């Protein structure tokens, strides 16, 4: 612990850590010093001069900015003197001389630090009688953000964020003096995945976000704290609505996950909530067409049909985008009402479920703050886990951790990486063997890894990669001093869903099926015997007639499974398909009955992030039309199938989980709503709780030998349903392309933009080629899950040939 230093502020003694700045110590001790440019998550610049205070020193009183002044033992500070008041009035009067004061039509009006400080510390009137400064306004600086340079008070929060925090400095100050303005570079828009953060931290209304602009007045907003379910990082958010419509999502600062930052996907995906394409009534398919139905009619039909199959011929997919309470109910319904063991929340695009939930020792996100070395052998974090990208970036760029990035192509973190290894997809096992052996190329990396604590962030770099490789990497990292593992899988609540038993090998509470089968029977009654099938096997079983019915919960295998053809064949082969969803996705279109369910911001419950941190999501708006909560649909269905799930309310289900699911003993909603619980509860809560502790093993995989290895990497804005249904984000989806290095293009006789065919075992695409010289020879990169690329399927070994008529 840092040494404590005692200072006196306005006669009150207070303590702070050595090295902390005065403004923070004062605020932590209840004395708020006004500020514009200072932000607790960024380096101080002392520019706005709003936080000037007087420090009494040996040479008398000195006016200093409290944001750049570090505390010293015995420091005496006056924040209330006449000199300080005069300075504060001065700064505010100066700031307002050129500010348009168009507060009535400004998005920030009502929650504006400039307004608030003017009320609290301002002179009350202006003596400025000249014409104010004028700029063309607003000007779009990206697809999502607009800039009003007249309102800007030049605090540099946005420019510093983009430089210091997100690492894409696409906005800067230009000119000097009174002509200074924020600007983008010529021909380069502010196309950052994190642009919305600048809107949130802007202390005036200079930066506004298109999706929220003019939608509401801040004092009319209702808000709840919740957790972003866009990815599995569990970023803390404030969801805000006006007239029962979600109009804004802001980040909430916490030490645990997101430091207040969000990706633009976290922030703007709310548009999908109120999409006109939401399903609002139950649907029954007749003669290939959906017709609207009543709940009673639809539930009766499903109950009747499901009862007609032997339980073991029915399977369930999905749940990784649901709350823990919904996932638990889904699993309980499948295992005790339908009585089937065939359950999978993943679509074979993640990791082994036991490894994902049970790996030990497991790293938490705050471990990145103290890590000496980080080995990142997983997805491109900037594309798939943007908030985690920010945390790793901070660890490497600000906190000095060694960062080793192993990936088939350049990633967003390469500029702060101390070591980079690029490899051809399929050869990962060989790279790992060289790394673990004594290959001279990797001596420096081995030395870096010898410096603990080590955090290994492991996952599949692309969709085609063997998930066992991530486990082998984990086994390698585990052997280093204080080595901890952070396994990555992306769906919002995938860890929670697996923790609730939505995998063939797991039962609720982070326990293995084999170990907990009998114990759970004492709670739930008889359970199906034997291990069930995973997603791929379920789809194969449906295709081949070994399984006959499928229940889907918020999942779209036709788009999300690595082999879309298999998924389509599985759905096609099923005699009966039920979907619980919000949209008619390609998979839902194949269903016989569709139940419309409530989603994010419409339900309350808990979710568990990639660290095993349980947090609360809350309800803010009513779900549209006749949509119902998933648990209540399943409960109703169970009753019609002569069962009883006891799912009477989300809170009641949460209580049941606490009792039934070992790792969740002690996780109560009360504990999550207040105090430290707002940072979530990191499982396991206490020593001695019986739950799965999975030791990863190196399965000694063989490399795939091929002329071309396919890297099928995800991009942030892909064809996932929530992006497609959020117009602001949908517009940002990239065009599909086939990426090769320049030499490979030459070898194939292709010019950039000309068509190329990539063909693998499960499909093919023909797309324009583009140059990416971060790709090694033999590596071909195709962005996954775009309309134009999804037919390729996930292979490793592929062929590449000129397309078109050539």
Partner 1 sequence: MKILTERMEAHRTDSHTIERYEATGGYSALRKGFEIGPEAVTAEVKASNIRGRGGANFPAGVKWGFLAPARPAYLVINADESEPGTFKDRQLLERDPHQLVEGVVLSSYALGVNHAFIYIRGEYPKPARRVQHAVDEAYAKGYLGKDILGSGFDLDVTVHLGGGAYICGEESALLNSLEGRRGEPRIKPPFPAVEGLYSKPTIVNNVETISNVPWIVSNGGIAYASIGPDTSAGTRLISLSGHINKPGNYEIVMGMTWRDLIYDIGGGIPGGRELKAWIPGGSSAPWFVPAEHLDTPATIDDVNDLGSMMGSGAVIVMDETTDVVAAAHRIVRFYSHESCGQCTPCREGTTWLERIFNRLLNGQGRMADIDLLIDVSDGISPGLTWPPAMTTICPLGPSATAPVVSIMKYFRDEVEARVVSGIPVALEAADG
List contacts with partner 1 (CB under 8 A).
Answer: 44-50, 52, 63, 65, 68, 83, 86-87, 89-91, 93-95, 97-98, 127-128, 130, 153-154, 173, 175-180
Q: 443: which residues sit within 8 A by CB, 6+ positions away?
A: none
DSSP state of 359: B
The nearer residue to partner 1, 48 or 112, going by C-beta atoms, is 48
Q: How far is the CB of 94 from partner 1 (least distance, A)?
A: 4
**Is 89 or 575 the residue whose CB approaches partner 1 more closely?**
89
Q: How many whole angstroms separate alpha carbon 108 and alpha carbon 110?
A: 6
CA 329 to chain centre: 24
**Rounded to the nearest whole angstrom, what is the least distance from the CB of residue 18 to partner 1 in the complex?**
15
- 311-327 as b/e, with b when 16 or more CB fall inside 10 Å? bbbbbbbbbbbbbbbbb
- We find the least distance from the C-beta atom of residue 178 to partner 1, in angstroms, to be 4
Q: What are the structure tokens assigned to 82, written together?
A: 């006449």
* C-beta closer to partner 1: residue 51 or 435: 51
Pick 179 or 686: Cβ nearer partner 1: 179
- Closest CB to partner 1 among residues 21, 314: 21
**Residue 238 CB partners (closer than 8 Å, separation 6+):** 223, 224, 225, 226, 249, 250, 251, 252
Give min distance, CB of 95 to partner 1, in A: 6
Give least dist CB 49 to partner 1, A: 5
Nearest to 330 by CA among 643, 617, 647, 623: 647
> Measured between alpha carbons, how far is 40 from 38 in angstroms, rounded to an integer?
7
Question: Measured from the CB of residue 57, what is the shortest distance to partner 1 in angstroms?
Answer: 13
Smallest separation, CB 103 to partner 1 (Å): 19
CA distance 327 to 705: 40
Cβ-Cβ contacts under 8 Å for 589 (sequence gap 6 or more): none
Q: Least distance to partner 1 from the beta carbon of 9, Å? A: 20
**Residue carrying structure tokens 């504060």:** 88
Shortest Cβ distance from residue 10 to partner 1 (Å)? 19
Under 8 Å CB-to-CB from 186, ≥6 apart: which residues? Answer: none
Distance (Å, whole) CA 726 – CA 226: 19
Supply the minimum distance, in Å, between the C-beta of residue 106 and partner 1.
Answer: 20
Q: Which is nearer to partner 1, 177 or 749 (by Cβ)? A: 177
Is the peptide bond prior to 684 cis by the omega test (within 30 degrees of 0)?
yes
Cβ neighbourhood burial of 518 (10 Å; 0-12, 13-18, 19+):
exposed
Identity of the residue, 96 or 141, whose beta carbon is nearer to partner 1 in the bound complex: 96
As given in the structure block, the two tokens for residue 209 are 């976000």
Q: Which is nearer to partner 1, 61 or 517 (CB)?
A: 61
Instruction: State in angstroms the smallest separation of the CB of 183 from partner 1.
Output: 12
Give whichever of 47 and 303 is closer to partner 1, judged by the CB atom: 47
Secondary structure (DSSP) of 107-173: TTTTS-HHHHHHHHHS-SS----SPPP-----EESSSSEEE-TTT-----HHHHIIIIISS---EEE
**Other Cβ atoms closer than 10 A to 131:** 7
**From CA 329, how far away is CA 634, in angstroms rounded?**
7
DSSP letter assigned to residue 17: E
| CA-wise closest residue to 609 among 324, 241, 232 | 232
467-478 and 428-436 helices, crossing angle to 10°: 10
At its nearest, how many Å lie between partner 1 and the CB of residue 395?
A: 20
Q: Closest by alpha carbon to 318, among 542, 578, 520? A: 578
Phi-psi region of 243 (alpha: psi -120 to 50; beta: other; left: phi over 0): left
Of 90 and 218, the one with the shorter C-beta distance to partner 1 is 90
Q: How far is the CB of 177 from partner 1 (least distance, A)?
A: 4
- For residue 738, what are its two tokens? 């086939």
Nearer to partner 1, 91 or 470 (CB): 91
What are the helix (H) ranges across 487-579? Answer: 494-499, 513-524, 535-544, 557-560, 564-573
CB nearer partner 1, residue 12 or residue 62: 62
Question: Nearest CA to 539 among 513, 561, 555, 507?
Answer: 561
- Classify strands 207-209 and 181-184 as parallel, antiparallel or unpaired: unpaired
Let me know: does 595 contact 565? Beta carbons within 8 Å. no
- State the nearest-atom distance from the C-beta of 112 to partner 1, in Å: 16
**The two structure tokens encoding residue 105:** 């039509």
Q: Which is nearer to partner 1, 84 or 435 (CB)?
A: 84
Rg for the chain (alpha carbons), in Å? 28
Nearer to partner 1, 127 or 276 (CB): 127
Q: Min. distance of Cβ 372 from partner 1 in angstroms?
A: 22
C-alpha dist (Å) from residue 195 to 200, 206, 261, 285: 9, 13, 10, 43
The pair phi, psi for residue 639, each rounded to 5°, is -65, -40
Least distance (Å) between residue 180 CB and partner 1:
4
């Amino acid at each position: 612990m840092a040494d404590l230093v005692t200072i006196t502020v306005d006669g009150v003694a207070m303590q702070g850590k050595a090295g902390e700045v005065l403004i923070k110590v004062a605020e932590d001790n209840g004395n708020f010093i006004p500020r514009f440019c200072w932000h607790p998550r960024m380096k101080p610049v002392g520019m706005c001069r709003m936080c000037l205070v007087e420090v009494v020193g040996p040479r008398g009183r000195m006016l200093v900015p409290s944001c750049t002044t570090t505390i010293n033992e015995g420091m005496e500070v006056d924040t209330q003197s006449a000199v300080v008041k005069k300075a504060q009035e001065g700064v505010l009067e100066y700031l307002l001389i050129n500010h348009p004061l168009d507060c009535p039509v400004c998005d920030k009006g009502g929650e504006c630090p400039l307004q608030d400080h003017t009320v609290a510390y301002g002179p009350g009137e202006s003596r400025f009688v000249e014409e104010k400064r004028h700029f063309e306004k607003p000007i779009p600086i990206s697809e999502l953000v607009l800039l009003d340079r007249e309102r800007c008070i030049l605090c540099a929060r946005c420019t510093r964020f983009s430089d210091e925090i997100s690492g894409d400095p696409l906005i800067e100050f230009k000119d000097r003096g009174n002509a200074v303005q924020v600007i983008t570079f010529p021909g380069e828009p502010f196309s950052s995945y994190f642009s919305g953060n600048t809107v949130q931290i802007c202390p005036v209304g200079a930066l506004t976000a298109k999706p929220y602009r003019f939608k509401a007045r801040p004092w009319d907003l209702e808000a709840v704290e919740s957790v972003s379910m866009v990815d599995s990082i569990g970023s803390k958010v404030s969801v805000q609505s006006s007239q029962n419509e979600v109009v804004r999502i802001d980040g909430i600062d916490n030490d645990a996950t997101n430091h207040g930052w969000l990706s633009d996907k976290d922030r703007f995906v709310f548009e999908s909530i109120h999409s006109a394409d939401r399903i609002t009534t139950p649907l029954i398919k007749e003669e290939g067409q959906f017709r609207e139905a009543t709940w009673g009619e639809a539930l009766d039909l499903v109950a009747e049909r499901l009862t007609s199959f032997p339980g073991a011929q029915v399977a369930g997919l999905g749940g990784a985008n649901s709350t823990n309470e919904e996932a638990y109910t889904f699993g309980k319904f499948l295992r005790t009402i339908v009585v089937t063991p065939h359950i999978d929340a993943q679509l074979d695009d993640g990791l082994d479920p036991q490894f994902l939930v049970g790996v030990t020792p497991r790293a938490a996100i705050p471990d990145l703050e103290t890590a000496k070395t980080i080995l990142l052998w997983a997805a491109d974090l900037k594309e798939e886990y943007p908030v985690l990208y920010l945390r790793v970036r901070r660890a490497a760029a600000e906190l000095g951790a060694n960062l080793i990035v192993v990936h088939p192509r350049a990633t967003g973190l390469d500029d702060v990486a101390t070591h980079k290894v690029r490899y051809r997809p399929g050869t990962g096992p060989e790279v790992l063997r060289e790394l673990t052996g004594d290959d001279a190329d990797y001596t420096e990396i081995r030395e870096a890894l010898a410096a603990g604590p080590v955090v290994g962030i492991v996952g599949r770099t692309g969709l085609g990669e063997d998930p066992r490789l991530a486990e082998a990497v984990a086994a390698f990292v585990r052997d280093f001093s204080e080595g901890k593992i952070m396994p990555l899988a992306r769906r919002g609540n995938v860890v929670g869903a697996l923790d609730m038993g939505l995998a063939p090998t797991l039962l609720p509470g982070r326990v293995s099926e084999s170990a907990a089968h009998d114990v759970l029977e004492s709670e739930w009654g008889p359970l199906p015997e034997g291990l069930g099938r995973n997603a791929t096997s379920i789809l194969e079983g449906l295709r081949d007639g070994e399984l006959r019915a499928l229940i889907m919960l918020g999942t779209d295998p036709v788009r999300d499974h690595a082999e879309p053809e298999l998924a389509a064949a599985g759905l096609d082969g099923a005699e009966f398909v039920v979907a619980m969803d919000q949209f008619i996705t390609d998979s839902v279109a194949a269903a016989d009955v569709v139940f419309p369910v409530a989603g994010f911001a419409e339900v309350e419950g808990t979710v568990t992030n990639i660290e095993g941190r349980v947090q609360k999501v809350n309800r803010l708006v009513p779900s549209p039309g006749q949509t119902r909560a998933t648990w209540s649909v399943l409960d109703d269905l169970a009753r019609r199938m002569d069962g009883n799930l006891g799912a009477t309310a989300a809170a009641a289900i949460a209580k049941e989980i606490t009792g039934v699911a070992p790792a969740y003993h002690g996780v109560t909603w009360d504990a999550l709503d207040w105090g430290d619980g707002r940072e979530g509860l990191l499982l396991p809560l206490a020593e001695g709780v019986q739950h799965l502790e999975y030791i990863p093993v190196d399965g000694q995989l063989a490399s795939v030998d091929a002329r071309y290895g396919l890297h099928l990497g995800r991009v942030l804005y892909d064809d996932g349903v929530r992006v497609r249904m959020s117009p602001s984000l949908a517009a940002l989806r990239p065009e599909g392309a086939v990426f090769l290095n320049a030499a490979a293009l030459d070898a194939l006789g292709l010019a950039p933009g000309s068509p190329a065919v990539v063909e693998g075992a499960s499909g093919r695409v023909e797309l324009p080629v583009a140059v990416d010289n971060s790709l090694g020879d033999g590596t071909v990169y195709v962005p996954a899950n775009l309309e134009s690329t999804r037919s390729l399927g996930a292979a490793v070994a592929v062929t590449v040939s000129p397309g078109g008529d050539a």
